[in-house]
Amino acid sequence: MVTQANDAAPHEFNPWLHVSSLIENAGHLLGLDQGMIKRIITPERVLEVAVPVRMDSGEVEMYTGWRIQHDTSRGPGKGGIRFHPSVNADEIAALSADMSIKCAVVNIPYGGAKGGVRVDPTLLSRGELERLTRRYAFSIAPMIGPDRDIPAPDINTDFQVMSWIMDTVSMLRGQNTPGVVTGKPLSIGGTLGHAGATSLGVTICTVALLHGLGRDIANERVVIQGYGKVGAPLVKLLSERGMKVVGIADIRGAIHVPGGIDHEVLSRHFRESGSVVGYPGSDTVPAHDLFTIPSDIAIPAALGGVITADIASSMAATIMVEAANGPTTGEGAAVLASRNVPVVPDVLANAGGVVASYFEWAQDLQGFMWEPELFTQRLEKTMHEAFNHIWQRHLDLKVNLRETAIAVGVERIAEATTLRGLFP
């Protein structure tokens, strides 16, 4: 059940209450009436499912999963599925609301949704993972579909998990339904360009912010938290544009390389060792000290809620770009604002992934594969237009980029909601 305001434990970060407050503040900034604000905040559908799985030992383990559709006024729901031991209803609800805002910010015809299962997939065999995925897909199947809600990969899920979900839904409906998920392999309806799209969007926003602030891109020092599907490509993309990645962290620790990290050497080292720690010529630092490394740009690209007030207070960088979903707590955001640290929020910075998903979905519906050059051209155009619009509204509204982006998303959702009216 999604937490209500009076249910939250004091001093405990609750992502749902945090996102709800951001939407409410945006509504007040825009002058929306309270009824509209409540409609935008409240999730449309919350499904909690039991996920029984027969393990390789023959025993049955029980897991819990969710699929939440926050808002579909602008189009079918869109949002990833994550498998993680910390997953809960409040987290999924917050992420679904983030997706509603994100899709509206980049102005694609989607609403917001999110799903997940509370499980540690590293403890499962491949067979157990497949059985868990298919049972979960079976349970949420009534909610999803190309014209209803389109899942995608997220933390600890990938193209194989999406393939199993697509196959399960296709078997249930007796027809091939490639458009039910995005992030699939090319051979079953995926698209060229999806891999790395989130990282490209983050890069575009980073460069655009530097231009907007009148800062020189060359030799800007960057620290990145996370070396996964988003963080790893960022090292290459930012380095190619003249920036220096001087610090990076993964689950085993963090490294500092004042002269800049070579993305090819790091990639090879990571493949051989399984961690960024031990990169040749690096200094190992505690992971929690990553953001204290002398730097100009901080990019959290791991889990949510990591930029707390303490981290924000000690952060060396003078700008931040949120590659992860919900990486900054309310208190952390307040500290960064008080320090006048510009932040490109997640609903804009990491929207490249959902834009790529939109393109894949469109190609599935068309039955026609785009050329890679067309895909990249349209992705860059969409991200540039979104950033430029947010930047101009930021100057007009005279509020920070996070408040501006949330306001733009809420404004577009409110417009769609108003035009559609209230049934019955």
**Element housing 236 (H / E):** helix 231-240
Domain 197-349 has CATH 3.40.50.720: yes
Residues 350-407: tens digit of each pLDDT: 999 999 999 999 999 999 989 989 999 999 999 999 999 999 999 999 999 999 999 9
Q: Give the Cα-Cα-Cα angle 141, 146, 148 (nearest 5 degrees).
A: 65
Mean pLDDT of the chain: 95
Could you tell me the pLDDT band of residue 6, with boundaries at 50, 70 and 90? very low
Identify whether 146 is preceded by a cis peptide bond (ω within 30 of 0). no
Residues 11-32: tens digit of each pLDDT: 577 889 989 999 999 999 999 9
Whose structure tokens read 């390389």?
257
Q: Do the domains 5-182 and 197-349 sit in the same CATH topology, yes or no?
A: yes
Q: Please pick, among 78, 114, 236, 244, the residue that the annotation labels catalytic.
A: 114
Instruction: State the pairing for strand pair 283-285/149-153.
Output: unpaired
Q: In the chain, where are the structural domains located?
A: 5-182, 197-349
Looking at residues 97-112, what average pLDDT do you find?
Answer: 97
Q: What pLDDT does 194 receive? A: 76
- Fold classification of 5-182 is Rossmann fold (3.40.50)
Residues 75-101: tens digit of each pLDDT: 999 999 999 999 999 999 999 999 999
Distance of CA 105 to the CA centre of its chain: 13
Residues 275 and 232: their CA atoms lie apart, in Å, by: 12
Q: What percent of the chain has pLDDT over 90?
A: 91
Looking at residues 36-53, what average pLDDT do you find?
Answer: 98
Q: What pLDDT does 17 receive? A: 94
Distances (CA, A) of 212 to 343, 352, 390: 12, 20, 11
Cα Rg, the chain, nearest whole Å: 21
Predicted TM-score (pTM) of the model is 0.92
Whose structure tokens read 């990969």?
153
Question: Per-residue pLDDT for 219 more than 90?
Answer: no
Could you tell me the pLDDT band of residue 4, with boundaries at 50, 70 and 90? low
Could you tell me the pLDDT band of residue 69, with boundaries at 50, 70 and 90? very high
Sheet with 45-54, edge to edge strand ranges: 45-54, 60-71, 112-118, 77-84, 149-153
Residues 337 and 210: their CA atoms lie apart, in Å, by: 18
- 78 and 109 Cβ atoms separated by less than 8 Å: no
- Going by the DSSP 8-state scheme, the letter that residue 10 receives in this structure is T
Sheet with 297-300, edge to edge strand ranges: 283-285, 253-256, 244-250, 221-225, 297-300, 319-321, 343-344
Q: What pLDDT does 5 receive? A: 47
Active-site residue flag, 244:
no
- DSSP, collapsed to helix, strand or coil, labels residue 118 as strand
Residues 232-261: tens digit of each pLDDT: 999 999 999 999 999 999 999 999 999 999
The amino acid occupying position 220 is E
* Exposure letters 113-126 (e unless 16+ CB within 10 A, then b): bbbbbbbebeebee
Residues 357 and 169: their CA atoms lie apart, in Å, by: 18
Looking at residues 314-329, what average pLDDT do you find?
Answer: 95
Residues 238 and 126: their CA atoms lie apart, in Å, by: 35
Q: What pLDDT does 380 receive? A: 96
